[in-house]
Structure 1
Amino acid sequence: MTAALAAAWQGPGTLVLRAEEVLADVPRKADRTPEQRARVIAATDDARRARTAFLAEHGQDVYDALTGNRTRYLRLDELLDAAAVLLDGLVPTREQMAAEAGLAQADKEGREIDQAVFFSGVLRQERAGLHLMESLLRPTDRALALLPEFTGRGSVDLGRLHVERVGEAAHLTVTNPGALNAEDNDLIAAMDVGVDLVLLDDRVKVGVLRGGEMTHPRYRGRRVFSAGINLRHLDAGRISYTDFLLRRELGYLSKLQRGLLLADASGRPLTSRSPHWTAQTVQKPWIAAVDGFAIGGGMQLLFAFDRVIAASDAYFSLPAAQEGIIPGVANLRLPRIAGSRLARQVILSGRRIHATEPEARLICDTVADPAALDTAVAAAVEELAAPAVVANRRMLGLAEEPPSVLRAYLAEFALHQGLRLYAPDVLEKTARFTPAQPTPTAGDGGAAARSSAREGHGSSIMW
């Protein structure tokens, strides 16, 4: 198979090599003339078109070669490393990605787009795509290492996230106080580990996610759920396509809905806990407790939870379209949850929904006085800890979002989110929030611009 793939790659590989030669022949991105920029765009477009066509025809064979005919599970970075060795130029090398790691987003060549082409090509293949999705349901190595500590002490500090067992529940508290609990690479990694620990601890029946108290002056001492993606990190080139955008959707968000995989592709247990013969995954019900606001990625999270409890002064918004990106899997899930009309108002026009509005009942199950949120969460934990809940949520998940439907969506998301990361409008908008700007910024504790956007009921400047 490898020889046949190498032969088929010769034509596309020539175009990829030509693009690299063009890049080597021009100065850094900021110093290029219009003619040089045009040359680079033409060459990289040709290379990406060739990669796309190659993967459309050979994507399944490529994935099978990388995974031993789907007998091995590889994580995203492992798959990229193996693909770079299999066919020269199919994906950027580790060294090429490292060369861009310290650059601002606008100064990068956009090699993450080449990663997006690859993952989209894999996900478009039914067998390969479903296997890749399954591989990301495995427990993380860090969670397996921390599990004895968590089961013994009942708590663990993951930096951006604190996990604590309270009775039959495990409470995940987001602790990114200076940035209004905005999401960054570190938080995504911590959430992946935290969700694993909840699912691996047999004493835990229900998971609860809530935002911690803020240190930002405007919200000091108050809890907030999430301000979405950290725009300052994005502008600085510190939001990873694979470690943030793909890992978020294929990793812990998928584990919330589909559960944690307990066996490898050959049926060998992945943890000390052997999978039951009736299911290869362990699932548990999840509760989201929303204080303050759930913006962008924060609102996206709610669509994966079994119960959403919101404070009466909270609100929800998805301003991603105004800011230029795709709001994760919200475009798939929100129309099913709230209907097509409301979904378009929220996603395409940035409509904000306050917890006290009638439409909010399509987003959250319970609205409580802020002082009574703890009591509402405790009541929900008791209800969802019932033995039959897990079996029924498993069947609801299969009915609402079959894996094949999610795979087809993720195949398009993988490509187009990668493209949006480097779109001119996105780069221009995120540049407003660089550290040099005196106005405090979204995702890093900005108050002035954020306040005017929120109180004026306009588009938020967070995702």
Structure 2
Amino acid sequence: MLTNESRPTPAAGPLPEGAFAEAAAALAAGIREREAPLAGLPPRTGRSAEQQQQAARIHEACRSLRAGFLRAHAEDVYDHLTAGRTLRLGLAELAAAAAQAFPGLVPTTGQLAQELSHVQEDKEGREIDQGILFREILRLPGAGGHLVDVLRDPTAEALALLDGFRATGRVDLGKVTLERRGAGGHVTFHNESCLNAEDNELIAQLEVAVDLVLLDDGIKVGVLRGAPMTHPRYRGRRVFSAGINLADLHHGRISFVGFLLQRELGYISKMLRGLSTRGRGDAYPAHGIEKPWAAAVDGFAIGGGTQLLLVMDKVIAAADSYLSLPAAQEGIVPGAANFRLGRLAGARVARQIVLGGRKIWAGDPQAGLLIDEVVDPKAMDRAVEDAVEELAAPAVLANRRMLHLSEEPEDAFRAYMAEFSLAQALRLYGDDVLDKVGKFSARSGAAANGAAPAPAPAQAEA
């Protein structure tokens, strides 16, 4: 399957002579000099406490160099990599091109491959350097705004599947299916064995499905719902989402760029704002292709599942379901929830949920801040049909667009994502996070060969 991390990367040309080229050369030389002692250290698992501290000092010094270079030259870097913004490079493509054009700035393909051979706690943490790059690019209204727009382009796989989907009204991507029923495009999560926990593959497939919903003229409303589970504790019951797959995180299989950044700037951004106009100022209409979205929450929406609800136009929840953002337990930043939750639920409730781990049950008096309709579990199918009919009304699309202009200006989102880029990269390697995901993986009975196990029930009730 073609993903956002498997496309070829265009090679940038040589840097023009001048101060920018001199600064890039100085960065490369400085990184080489400072990183040289790392080669004399054993792998991270075999380092003494003193060697661990030495490695940390080396990385800190190198990251200071990278941050300083980018603070002065991020716009130049982006414009060079994109040939003056004529190339529309995705996140992984941009990072790979930067590794080639600016040695030492971000990890090379080989260094990332080496990282993937280790569990999370044994990595050097080179993804943090990618976080520095994207923080400094996204800070800039020009370069960052261009990148945010690029990441709302339809995926190559969706474009390849579009004609077939238009003809059949159904596509099976593996962990995600999409079916056109009436005016609704029903996107169903099928990561059944692990309670629809999110992993790299699920995220890539969700983006393709979202693109197809937006591109297909026969669909007026997108719908998200979880399939019935095969997990022993929930067998035969629908579940919306158990959030990030902590076992995959422990085993080093959750990509910072392809998962944690891509989901926010890719398919979630597309659900909220639609597909881009590909930078065309003369496009008509001036906005991209947008459609309203509804979510049907069966069982629970944990972590990333709740994050999705914050961009929905209608949320229907079964009476026995609940929502949660267990950021305090997991130790990572819950996507753009910190940006959106306070607006919807109020600052105090947002802190209770994010910092205190409070669950919001469908029957909670404050659930109405996040849920539009609570129904008997047996009535969910009918409620979803009614929601599609309601959101397909002609005036909905224009009004949701105007609401979004008021509620979440794109520049505010871009600025949030700039800070998120580095904050989340650092959290991925926090000692508390490494300890928690390691303990979770042990509890869930991870196989000795490193295969990701199904989340234990404790994850689903964190």
1:97 aligns with one of 109, 112, 119 = 112
Shift of 1:85: 2.0
Q: Which amino acid aligns with 1:221?
A: G
Name the structure 2 match of 1:272. Answer: none
Does the Cα contact within 8 Å between 2:233 and 2:457 map onto a contact in 1? no
Shift of 1:26: 0.7
Q: Which amino acid aligns with 1:14?
A: A
Name the structure 2 match of 1:351. Answer: 358
2:379 aligns with one of 364, 372, 378 = 372
Separation of aligned partners in 2, 1:94 and 1:123: 22
Name the structure 2 match of 1:340. Answer: 347
Separation of aligned partners in 1, 2:208 and 2:228: 21
Separation of aligned partners in 1, 2:201 and 2:45: 29
Separation of aligned partners in 2, 1:313 and 1:346: 19
Change (3 A) 1:437 1:249: closer
- 1:408 maps to 2:383: no
Name the structure 1 match of 2:279. Answer: 265
Separation of aligned partners in 2, 1:118 and 1:99: 20
For residues 133-166 of structure 1, the C-alpha deviation after alignment (integer angstroms, 9 at most, x for no partner) is: 1100000000001111111100000111010000
Change (3 A) 1:347 1:406: same
Name the structure 2 match of 1:307. Answer: 314
For residues 117-139 of structure 1, the C-alpha deviation after alignment (integer angstroms, 9 at most, x for no partner) is: 11111111111111111100000
Shift of 1:363: 0.6
Name the structure 2 match of 1:213. Answer: 228
Name the structure 2 match of 1:162. Answer: 177
User: How do residues 42-441 of structure 1 correspond to structure 2 at under 5 angstroms?
Assistant: 42-261=57-276, 263-265=277-279, 277-434=284-441, 438=445
For residues 92-137 of structure 1, the C-alpha deviation after alignment (integer angstroms, 9 at most, x for no partner) is: 1111111211211111111101111111111111111111111000
Separation of aligned partners in 1, 2:158 and 2:105: 32
Separation of aligned partners in 2, 1:436 and 1:448: 10
What secondary structure sits across from 1:224 in the alignment?
Answer: coil
Task: State the percentage of identical aligned residues.
Answer: 54
Separation of aligned partners in 2, 1:137 and 1:448: 35
Shift of 1:446: 4.1
Q: Which amino acid aligns with 2:307?
A: Q
Does the Cα contact within 8 Å between 1:51 and 1:90 map onto a contact in 2? yes
Shift of 1:344: 0.4
What secondary structure sits across from 2:42 in the alignment?
Answer: coil
Q: Which amino acid aligns with 1:301?
A: L
Q: Which amino acid aligns with 2:168?
A: R
- TM-score w.r.t. the length of structure 2 is 0.93
Separation of aligned partners in 1, 2:322 and 2:458: 18
Does the Cα contact within 8 Å between 1:177 and 1:213 map onto a contact in 2? yes
Shift of 1:450: 4.5
Does the Cα contact within 8 Å between 1:104 and 1:236 map onto a contact in 2? yes
Contiguous gaps of at least 5 residues in structure 1: 268-274, 455-459
Shift of 1:69: 1.9
What secondary structure sits across from 1:239 in the alignment?
Answer: coil
Change (3 A) 1:115 1:450: closer
Separation of aligned partners in 1, 2:359 and 2:130: 33
Q: Which amino acid aligns with 1:246?
A: L
Separation of aligned partners in 2, 1:168 and 1:143: 19
Change (3 A) 1:2 1:305: farther
What secondary structure sits across from 1:283 in the alignment?
Answer: coil
Q: Which amino acid aligns with 1:253?
A: I
Separation of aligned partners in 2, 1:85 and 1:319: 38
| Aligned positions, number | 443
Separation of aligned partners in 1, 2:31 and 2:180: 51
For residues 365-384 of structure 1, the C-alpha deviation after alignment (integer angstroms, 9 at most, x for no partner) is: 00000000111111111111
Shift of 1:29: 0.5
Separation of aligned partners in 1, 2:299 and 2:228: 11
Which sits farther off after the overlay, 331-340 or 314-323? 314-323
Change (3 A) 1:30 1:182: same
Separation of aligned partners in 2, 1:70 and 1:439: 45
Q: Which amino acid aligns with 2:189?
A: V
Does the Cα contact within 8 Å between 1:218 and 1:447 map onto a contact in 2? no
Does the Cα contact within 8 Å between 1:288 and 1:302 map onto a contact in 2? yes
Contiguous gaps of at least 5 residues in structure 2: 1-14
Separation of aligned partners in 2, 1:264 and 1:323: 36
Shift of 1:18: 2.5
Does the Cα contact within 8 Å between 2:444 and 2:455 map onto a contact in 1? no
Shift of 1:60: 0.9
Separation of aligned partners in 1, 2:176 and 2:111: 31
2:24 aligns with one of 1, 4, 9 = 9
